[in-house]
Amino acid sequence: MQETIIDKDTRLLVVSAHAGDFIWRSGGTIAKYIKHGAQVSLVILSYGARGESNDLWNDLNQTMENVKKIRRQEIEEATKQLGVTDYEIWDLQDYHMSVTDQDKERMLRKIREVQPHVILTHGPKDAFNPDHELVSNFVFEASVLSTSNGVRLEDTKRSKQSSIFGFEPHQAEISDFKPEVIIDITETYEQKVAAMNCFKAQKHLIDYYSAKALIRGNQARRCSGNNEYQYAEAFTRFFPYVGGTFN
């Protein structure tokens, strides 16, 4: 049996609530898609300045402007490690994040422009992060509306329904996360580590997601019998797999 192939006609859209989410949760997978020639578009909705920059705010003179500047540099370096060139930062507020009608239209427009086969974003529940839940719903609804002929938007054309996959949240079990899809990232694991290291202040997260990659790799071996899998990332599916064969 031969696997689905990633090539230059493969379009992947990644939507990340905060600066680091796309790296911790899908850095290896993104690097792999790029390595195999896929078109990867990345949307980073916020800098995570309020909710995911704890260490920076230990400096009492810290400013919002400076925090964003630091996070922007980290994003730039990390995307370089993964090979991502097509990315945009929307600079929404985080903690609480909210989305306006304009944001909704912008996401819809983005999906119709990219016409992604696969969308990667946050899954529907995250026990400790309300922003992630909002983004999950935001992206899902935009993907549904994007398929409807009657949702007219100048200069766009209706897209097919993308397959959507949800990131693993920080605390998987209490967020009701199920690893429905486990992607082998052995060949790009070093790139993921390099990208994680761009967020130097968050050493405990680097350790955490390194441990996760090892654990998911072990499970990948057990579920498949394929001993070449060493590191992996897990995702949940938004709807059933549809295709011509079992996979």
Distances (CA, A) of 114 to 10, 77, 173: 11, 24, 33
> What is the per-residue binding string for its own copies in 158-197, x denoting contact by CB under 8 A?
-xxx-x-x----xxxxx--xxxxxxxx-------------
Site for its own copies in 123-162 (CB under 8 A): 127-130, 141, 144-145, 147-152, 159-161
Longest dimension (CA), the chain: 59
Closest CA to 213 of 199, 226, 225, 196: 196
Site for its own copies in 6-35 (CB under 8 A): 6-7, 9-10, 32-33
Measured from the CB atom, is 63 or 80 closer to its own copies?
A: 63
Site for its own copies in 90-129 (CB under 8 A): 95-96, 104, 117-118, 127-129
**Region of 79-87, 195-203, 228-236 interacting with its own copies (CB under 8 A):** 228-236
Q: What angle do CA 110, 145, 156 make, to 5 degrees?
A: 45
Closest approach, Cβ 183 to its own copies, in A, equals 7
Closest approach, Cβ 53 to its own copies, in A, equals 5
Beta carbons of 175 and 123 less than 8 angstroms apart: yes
Q: Scanning the structure block, which residue is given the tokens 């400076």?
A: 66
- For residue 180, the SS3 value is coil
From 31, 45, 67, 99, residue interacting with its own copies (rule: CB under 8 A): 67
From 61, 100, 102, 245, residue interacting with its own copies (rule: CB under 8 A): 245
Closest approach, Cβ 194 to its own copies, in A, equals 20
Is residue 243 a contact point for its own copies (CB under 8 A)?
yes
Is residue 240 a contact point for its own copies (CB under 8 A)?
yes
Site for its own copies in 208-227 (CB under 8 A): 208, 211-212, 214-215, 218-220, 222-226
Reported for 217-222, long-range contacts at CB under 8 A and 24+ positions apart, including other chains, are: 217/184, 217/186, 219/179, 219/182, 220/182, 220/184
Distance CA 42, CA 119 (A): 10
